[in-house]
Structure 1
Amino acid sequence: MFDKTGTITNGVPRVTRVLVLWDQARLPLRKVLAVVGTAEASSEHPLGMAVSKHCKEELGTETLGFCHDFQAVPGCGISCRVSNIEELLQTSAGTDGTQTPTLTHNPTCLTLQGATTDESSLVTDGDEGSGSPSYSVLIGNRQWMQRNGLQVTADVDEAMSSHETKGQTAILVAIDGVLCAMLAIADTVKEESALAVHTLSRMGIDVLMITGDNRRTAKAIATQVGIRKVFAEVLPSHKVAKVQELQEKGMKVAMVGDGVNDSPALARADLGIAIGTGTDVAIEAADIVLIRNDLLDVVASIELSKKTVWRIRINFMFALIYNLLGIPIAAGVFMPVGLVLQPWMGSAAMAASSVSVLLSSLLLRCYRKTSVDQYESRANGRMRSLRSSQVSTHVGLEERRCSPRTLRRSRSRLSQISRSPSQTSRTDRAHAEPDRHSLLEHDQCGQEFTV
């Protein structure tokens, strides 16, 4: 089970698109960047660090405003209050009244109805001279905005979907309760990810990807590396539940991750594998730490473990063979034929047993990791990207689809609930009432019912 960000991907994302919703929040681009950069500067998530770095580059500064009341909700987004950005904007605009060139690599912005990134409005609006105003900031996915009472319009949702189908992550920005911007962030796939996944599959190991990112982005990454089953929009606690669910089915689960959000799943899995460049918490929770940020080392660790287990079995044979031969002789079984175990023979047998086990174990030092060229030759050109239809994507812990028989049974039960009270007996209502709870299960299976 692989995490996505920082494990299958390089974990060094960059902002590729900036979309300012001018019709909803009449804020200039530079003020949006200053607010967003200040808010994300307190985040430890790779996406937040990428956004903060991008804002600093666009504003041409290394210092940002003040962030307080910061709160990060894993799998959703962040919320905080930002202040002291007016001085930042005035400084970046130039003390001599001239505008300094601050857009180092002018980002390509999407053109939608009611959206703009007009550079003519780079100066601040009515907040000048009003001291240092404070801004309430929300940054996150669609669910985070909806949880905070903000509506995502169809145009914005379509723009987000267009980036997500390309494997990019789209996040929304709301300032003072108004949805005002969208940022698209791209994270490239590691070169060895597809080869590692293909090699593990050839070894008979089922490979899954589990991530808190949205389903479209997760599916796009999975098609590139050849993973056929994806669990997207999964909270950190749900990662642990998914690991436990697989274990209850009798499977042995190895979890590969690098972030704080992966540490509970790494500790719960039968084998936790952490990337050496990841967080300290993930490294502490894992059983194996890969010193290099190379997924082929996952394959190498499994190969080495198999050789180690095989060597342990050989050592048992070396240890037992002396006892199996020496004990009958010492018991006098072969005394009639004149074969007696002398004390020096017993000592020699014990020493030979220990030396043979030691030498057998030292042969593990001859192990050499398989090279990339050997892995590629074994793939023999059969490693290729999957089609979108070949990848099954599940949201959260959802894994099963309702069977037609279950749907027919649920519809018949729902018809009882939909009858008027006068037509429904007290016994019918007693039997129909528990079925209201089953509505949630069927809704998770992608079905909609109207009662």
Structure 2
Amino acid sequence: MKHIYQVLDMSCGGCKTNVEKALLALSDIHKVEIDLATKAVVVEMQSHLSLDTLQQALLTAGLHYTITMPEHEFIHHPKQQTSIKNGNGVFYCPMFCEGEKTYPTQSGCPICGMDLVEQPSTTQTTQFTCPMHSDIVQDMPGSCPICGMDLVTLEAEDSEQKTYQDLLKKMKISALFALPVFIISMSDLIPNNPLNVLMSGQNLGFVQFVLTLPIVFWTCWMFFERAYTSIITWNLNMFTLVGIGTGVAFIFSVVGLFFPEIFPDDFKTESGTVLLYFEATAVILTLVLLGQLLEAKAHSQTSGALKALLQLAPATAILLKNNVEVVIAIDKIKKDDLLRVKPGDKIAVDGVITQGKSSLDESMISGEPIPVDKVEGDKVTAGSINGNQSFVMCAQKVGAETLLSQIIEMVKTASRSRAPIQKLADTIAKYFVPIVVLIAILTFMIWVWLGPEPALVYGFVNAVAVLIIACPCALGLATPMSVMVGVGKGAQSGVLIKNAQVLEIMDKVDVLITDKTGTLTQGKPSVEEVFSQIGNADDLLQKIASLNQYSEHPLAQAVVQSAKEKNISLVEVADFEAITGKGVVGIIDKQKITLGNLALMRTNKINIGDDALMQKIIFAQEQGKTVSYIGIDDKVLGYVSISDSIKSSSKKAITELMAKGVDVIMMTGDNKNTAKAVADELNLSEFQAQCLPEDKLNKIKQLQAQGKIVAMAGDGVNDSPALAQADVGIAMGTGTDVAIQSAEITLVRGDLYGIIKAKKLSYAVMKNIKQNLFFAFIYNILGVPIAAGILFPVFGVLLSPMIAATAMSFSSVSVIVNALRLRKISL
């Protein structure tokens, strides 16, 4: 390991030499480099030594110098290692052959042989380097200890880009060797072959052999390794076919070149040399490599949405420490840190504004382009971009806890999930390769039996073409590529999909059950009136606000906020109890305070009061307000009315859903009068009021028993059972974490119109998957018989193995490119 220290009292070359000798006297230190200008000492040690140990070494040598650690420790790395990975060191197969199984290294998938892809890291670790001295790397911003320049962010290494670059290098080398092999082979078609003037056909064969060797044993050797692995593990795949086909052609050609006498005349030319297929081997392997290259390029784009999300968080933030601004790396931010956000800066973590105001662009998170005004007390989300005003925020969620990190994790997980429709492709792929090998054998036998002369040659070439053209990878990629791109597109539009199965189900939903507060309404209720029959309403407000200070319900928070705005102090509450779906109970000043709906009052046998009070309550409810009864001991002595405006998008969303044949049912714990007022405004034909969590759960079960596909939209803890039971649970991103965990879809903005987006996305993804499966099926259904020579008896047409290789290479690419079209759909 290497560390940098500073010896402050060095002034000359003699000092430098003495310090170097003193430190090297320690057995654990094997190298010391000293920069006299900056007094920086780079120490390379086998195990970490404390600063006191180093100081004592100098004193022992009679050097009364002070050795210190710089403000930030710098680490010297060899230049080839001065990059950091943006992944987490865990790899997965893009075809998800073993489901969500991951692998510790980037070798080929043990099932299909394809290159594994590294999972991106959910949390960001940022390092910094000097633009002039790339071996200087540290985990905090600052200046270079050697030249003093400001350090810059160390660019992360993209494993997919590295794979692409490696394949590109091999592709160039393969093409360089394959082209002359192809030219030599094709020269036989030229009358009076000019190359025969230079050397004999036998010698030209040796030239082809030499040029083919680098392709077989270097640039494309990985295909044979994967083929071998697939055979010994009996996980037959595309590389099985490529390896067998090109391997047989290469071995045949080598034997024919060195031992021509063992072959029958059918395989020989007029000059007595054996027909060689080095050009088929070289060109086919190069074309397969080209397909892998194009596939790697296309595949890197399928995860483009996830990569874009990873880029949303900034590398640094401005920490306010004792009113002094300090630039720190994002991964060093701690909960409750105060951060300064300047105009144009990205928000580093989730938090709340404590000073100032601004407008934030949250489009990267929510998918909505309109800036959102934020003032003191409002929450801000990592990845948002600040407008033209500065503010101070308090960090509340950092690292993997931020909404952005959760979105990245959800997208990452959903991209690896398997849709039910993929089972068909998996079943066919299981038997695909053995069937193709059997067809190749039958092709050879039929040509030998019924084909024209030279029958053996025709049989051999067409059998190789059958092996090469078949592409099980196109089948395997059909579903996961569409899912990956679709999930990413949804995330960019504020619709988070938890798994692929929900993408398949969402388009079939015919009933939507929705909560009211926070789902149809803004979820930002405010107190309209506190009515008291015993005098000062503020006294009653103090009691119910004190009671609600322990509750996270939006209505409770509205009451607490109302008390704060009136500077009413809260008091201690004993025996607090929250009763789900009903309200809260507690003891204040030896009085039992009950706050909640009518069912809670009846359960606690509290006298409702006179008719005049009930008339006032009913009138407020008919205005669409939520009314909670306030009981003191055994009698209702007042009420609090709370308004929560309906979201502007709710009516539009419900209208479109009903136009698509979806029945929308509102189920709320609110009273019937309030529920009816909201239902009338939204033109809902069906609603249920005064619902408990089990009522919503039972309703969903009832509808499912009738064969309905039910979606449930909610945002509260009490919605969790229903969200879990529904065929598709839809949580508002503005709601509770429990609701989000219980749901399969999360709408980041908490906007019901996101359900329309989810249905559009579901339809588009399923259509795309079916197109991909059709392409894959029709390609193999038509390609294999043509390669076998089915057109020859009628049209005299045969498919060259090289053309077959080209078609095979582009089949997988066509599936991926079709999946990429999902990025352009409008939600």
- Scaled by the length of structure 2, what TM-score is found? 0.37
2:537 equivalent to 1:29: yes
1:202 CA displacement: 1.3
Match of 2:552 among 44, 59, 68: 44
Counterpart CA distance in 2 for 1:300 and 1:44 is 29
Residues 75-104 of structure 1, C-alpha deviation per residue, up to 9 Å, x if partnerless? 21111122xxxxxxxxxxxxxxxxxxxxxx
**1:42-81 matches, cutoff 5 A:** 42-58=550-566, 60-61=567-568, 63-81=569-587
2:600 equivalent to 1:144: yes
Structure 2 partner of 1:362:
820
1:77 partner amino acid: G
1:155 CA displacement: 2.4
Structure 2 partner of 1:292:
749
Structure 2 partner of 1:425:
none
Structure 1, unpaired ranges of 5+: 83-132, 370-451
Structure 2 partner of 1:157:
614
1:299 CA displacement: 0.8
Counterpart CA distance in 1 for 2:658 and 2:752 is 14
Counterpart CA distance in 1 for 2:622 and 2:570 is 33
1:72 partner amino acid: A
Structure 2 partner of 1:16:
528
**1:42-191 matches, cutoff 5 A:** 42-58=550-566, 60-61=567-568, 63-82=569-588, 133-153=589-609, 154-191=611-648
Structure 2 partner of 1:203:
660
2:552 partner amino acid: E
1:138 CA displacement: 0.7
Does structure 1 conserve the Cα–Cα contact (< 8 Å) formed by 2:607 and 2:635?
no
Structure 2 partner of 1:262:
719
Does structure 2 conserve the Cα–Cα contact (< 8 Å) formed by 1:322 and 1:349?
no
2:807 partner amino acid: A
1:4 CA displacement: 0.4
Structure 2 partner of 1:311:
768
Structure 2 partner of 1:350:
808
**1:261-410 matches, cutoff 5 A:** 261-337=718-794, 338-369=796-827
Counterpart CA distance in 2 for 1:334 and 1:229 is 63
How well do the aligned residues superpose, as a CA RMSD in angstroms? 1.7
1:255 partner amino acid: M
**1:435-450 matches, cutoff 5 A:** none
Counterpart CA distance in 2 for 1:174 and 1:192 is 36
1:46 CA displacement: 1.0
**1:211-222 matches, cutoff 5 A:** 211-222=668-679
Counterpart CA distance in 1 for 2:805 and 2:576 is 70
| 3-state SS of paired residue (1:53) | helix
| 3-state SS of paired residue (1:4) | coil
Counterpart CA distance in 1 for 2:755 and 2:746 is 10
Residues 197-246 of structure 1, C-alpha deviation per residue, up to 9 Å, x if partnerless? 11111122111111111111111001111211101111112211111111
Counterpart CA distance in 2 for 1:340 and 1:66 is 90
Counterpart CA distance in 2 for 1:80 and 1:231 is 29
Does structure 1 conserve the Cα–Cα contact (< 8 Å) formed by 2:607 and 2:634?
no
Counterpart CA distance in 2 for 1:165 and 1:29 is 22
| 3-state SS of paired residue (2:661) | coil
Q: Which gives a bigger RCO, structure 1 or 2 (Cα 8 Å, sep 6+)?
A: 1
Counterpart CA distance in 2 for 1:340 and 1:200 is 54
2:579 partner amino acid: V
Counterpart CA distance in 2 for 1:345 and 1:248 is 55
Counterpart CA distance in 1 for 2:670 and 2:695 is 13
Does structure 2 conserve the Cα–Cα contact (< 8 Å) formed by 1:196 and 1:296?
yes
Counterpart CA distance in 1 for 2:739 and 2:553 is 14
| 3-state SS of paired residue (1:207) | strand
Counterpart CA distance in 2 for 1:33 and 1:157 is 19
| 3-state SS of paired residue (1:208) | strand
Match of 1:227 among 684, 691, 716: 684
1:8 partner amino acid: L
Structure having the higher Rg:
2
Counterpart CA distance in 2 for 1:223 and 1:198 is 13
1:335 CA displacement: 4.5
Does structure 1 conserve the Cα–Cα contact (< 8 Å) formed by 2:713 and 2:731?
yes
- Scaled by the length of structure 1, what TM-score is found? 0.66
Counterpart CA distance in 2 for 1:69 and 1:346 is 78
Does structure 2 conserve the Cα–Cα contact (< 8 Å) formed by 1:326 and 1:341?
no
1:330 CA displacement: 4.2
Residues 156-203 of structure 1, C-alpha deviation per residue, up to 9 Å, x if partnerless? 222211111111111111123332211111111111111111111112
Structure 2 partner of 1:432:
none
Residues 352-389 of structure 1, C-alpha deviation per residue, up to 9 Å, x if partnerless? 221111111101111123xxxxxxxxxxxxxxxxxxxx
| 3-state SS of paired residue (2:735) | coil
1:270 partner amino acid: D
Counterpart CA distance in 1 for 2:629 and 2:773 is 60
Structure 2, unpaired ranges of 5+: 1-512
1:323 CA displacement: 0.8
Counterpart CA distance in 2 for 1:152 and 1:299 is 43
Runs of 4+ in 1 over 6 A off after TM superposition: none
Does structure 1 conserve the Cα–Cα contact (< 8 Å) formed by 2:666 and 2:679?
yes
- Which is further off, 300-309 or 48-57? 48-57
| 3-state SS of paired residue (2:722) | helix
Counterpart CA distance in 1 for 2:736 and 2:591 is 31
1:72 CA displacement: 1.1
Counterpart CA distance in 1 for 2:539 and 2:521 is 31
Counterpart CA distance in 2 for 1:268 and 1:340 is 57
Residues 43-64 of structure 1, C-alpha deviation per residue, up to 9 Å, x if partnerless? 1111111112212323x14x41
> How many residues are treated as equivalent by the alignment?
313
Residues 267-306 of structure 1, C-alpha deviation per residue, up to 9 Å, x if partnerless? 1111111111111111111111112232222211211211
